[in-house]
Each structure stands twice: as structure tokens, then as C-alpha cells.
Structure 1
């Protein structure tokens, strides 16, 4: 499974940046996600098919097809390619991470949201629907090595939805979650430091 990829460039040097993106896309073969920081929430229908057509295999992407601006930075989560992309507000940082995604389409939510809370060492409570599907689940798991949210969590404006770490690295790159997006702990720690409350997030 690929490691995170980083691109650093000056905003004015667009040609070199695009050349780097083009060459990087040819070398990669796994999923990517990016984050979008809008103050409003849009449904999947609001996104339209134009954005969907830009989805392909795990590859580096440009932010313009997905966001109108990079205010507060942006995260794009690509469910189909199982990847997370991040762009900093000044375009100096671009990150690409492999991720886990929901197990089934009915557990998947797509659209625009934002980071509303950041927690280091999160605790976990299974949702009512999760306990209904599996009554053996514990009611509460404190922070630690047994916690499904890993070491860090970004809470989104949608109830129960998070981008978080995982101690079970086998889940990354797979359809393995009940709705959230999972990253390696070292990657969520990095993304946690790059994002802020208000960072825009788009799931496609």
C-alpha cells in the first residue's frame, strides 16, 4: 500500500506544479482523498455528475474541479478509489493518503461538510444502528490501543461521521467501516496537524 505523497510549490509556479502532477499520476496505482472547507453543506445531488467524471484510479488530483477556493484548506475523500487528498490554503502542501471506506453503499454518505471538532485520543461509542446490527459491541471504548478511532479523529458536521485513525492497519485500502473514513495512525496525525476547525471536506 502506498505511503502518503507530498507536493510543495509556490502558487505562482503553476507550470512546474502541473508537470509534477502529471508525472506523479503516471507513477501511482492506489486511491486518494482530499478535503474541502465550505461553510455550507451540500447533498450528493448538489455535486452533480461533472465532479464524478473526474474520478479515476489512485492518483494525484488538482483541487479546482472540486472546490471553488481553498479557504481553511480542503480535504477530498474519494470513496471509489479509497483515498484522501489534502490541499493547504496557500497551495504549498498537497497530501495523498490511502484510506478505508464504508463497507456498503447504504452506509456511505457523499457531499460537502466540514471539520467541526478535532480530538487527540478520541473515545468511541458505537452508533445505535451499529449496536442493532451487532448487539455484542461495547457501549463505550476509551482512548487506547483497542479504540477503533485510532490516535486522532476529525469530527465532521454530519452526526457520527469522522475521518480518523485505526490501530488495525489491515482495514486501510478496504471497504471495512460502518460509515467513517479511516487512515493509518501516522497519516491521521499528519492530517490532524494540517487541518483546522472549519476545513472544508468533500466526499465523492
Structure 2
């Protein structure tokens, strides 16, 4: 049987704020870590050999889970990693192999038929400029309506925010654009 003494009570009372504070601090740290995990891109290492037999003209892997785009040059000497925006829902997410079929600097944007169906107030066309959702550069993929492009709305990067495309900061698509020749193979995972 434990004997309750004045000294043991005073010792417990003196230590209890630290015990409570420690538990509160641990809970706060856990909540902060969870919030950071949900709101940031969790980059992970990707190797092109896991997705392609050879580099060909170059290779791109767009990872919709980690919200990152990986690029390898045709000689394998250049590797670049860019944070991205990804499709807002699974229904809008297409996965698989495609390739870059066209490159446009200063693209115009035309909403897809399904976008206009969901939101009839969308304009028919948005010319190049600061209001264009495709940003400053666009890489057109062999899948109709799918692009890797810039965005003027920097809040979208690192989030599920697109209608199917992979978005990059304008500065980063400007960096990627000259590195990617038409014919570069792309895999969305």
C-alpha cells in the first residue's frame, strides 16, 4: 500500500503541469504534423527505369499522389523535380502512358465540353495573358484535353485543384518547356 505523505502530494502537484503540458504539446505536434502532411507535396524518389524501358527523347513521370512531376533528359544527365497541382477528383484523373505532341508558348485556353456543361458561365476562349488558366507555357499530350501547363494562380500548386491537367508554377513550366522535345514520353501515376 502506498502511503500518502505531504511530500508525495507536493511532488505530484509540482510535476503535474509538466505532465499535462507534455501531453498537450504532443497532441499539438501530432495535429500540426497531420496538417502539414495534408497540405504539402510529399515528394518521393522515382526512377525512370520503373516506368520506361529507355529514356528515348526524355521522360516525364507525373505523380498525382505526391503531386510532383519528375523529368529526365534523353541522356539521363538532367533530372528535375517540380511541385504540381493535380486533378481535383478521381473521375477527372487519367493515368497511364501518353506523350508530348505539341508545345505552345502563350497558349489560349478553351474550356472542354464537360467543363462548360458543369459551368455554362465559362468563357468560350481565354487568350494568352494573366487570366489564362494555362499560364505561360503548355505541353499538349496525346490524350485529348490533357496538358502539362503553367498557372498564374500559385495557390493551386500542391493541391487537388485542376480539371484533369498537371499544373506547375509559371517559372517552373518555363524551365521545363525548353528541355522537353515533342515526342517525350509521359506517364501519369
> What stretches of structure 1 of length at least 5 have no aligned partner?
1-28, 32-56
What is the CA deviation profile of residues 81-108 of structure 1, one whole-angstrom value per residue up to 9, with x for unaligned ones?
1110000111110000000000000000
Give the superposed CA RMSD: 1.1
Unmatched runs of 5 consecutive residues or more in structure 2: 1-36
4+ long deviations beyond 3 Å? none
Distance across 2 between alignment mates of 1:131 and 1:81: 29
User: Offset of 1:174 from its aligned partner?
Assistant: 0.3
Which whole-Å CA distance do the structure 1 matches of 2:108 and 2:137 have between them?
A: 10
State how far apart, in whole Å, the 1-side matches of 2:81 and 2:151 are: 17
Is residue 17 of structure 2 the alignment partner of residue 58 of structure 1?
Answer: no
Does structure 2 conserve the Cα–Cα contact (< 8 Å) formed by 1:166 and 1:182? yes
Matches within 5 A, 1:61-140: 61-140=46-125
In 2, Cα distance between equivalents of 1:176 and 1:67:
28
TM-score (norm 2): 0.78
Deviation at 1:59, TM superposition (A): 2.3
C-alpha separation between the residues in 1 aligned to 2:103 and 2:93?
22
Instruction: Give the structure with the larger helix fraction.
Output: 2
1:108-136 CA-to-partner distances (Å, cap 9, x unmatched) read: 00000000000000000000100110111
State the distance in 2 between where 1:60 and 1:192 align: 22
Partners of 1:159 and 1:89 lie apart in 2 by 25
Give distance in 1, aligned partners of 2:141 and 2:68.
Answer: 17
Q: Secondary structure at the match of 1:189?
A: helix
How many Å apart are 1:61 and its aligned residue? Answer: 2.1
Aligned residues: 151
* TM-score normalised over the length of structure 1: 0.72
Aligned pairs for 1:1-204 (under 5 A) are 31=41, 57-204=42-189
How far does the alpha carbon of each residue in 1:125-152 deviate from its partner, in whole angstroms, 9 at most, with x for none? Answer: 0001001101111111000000000000
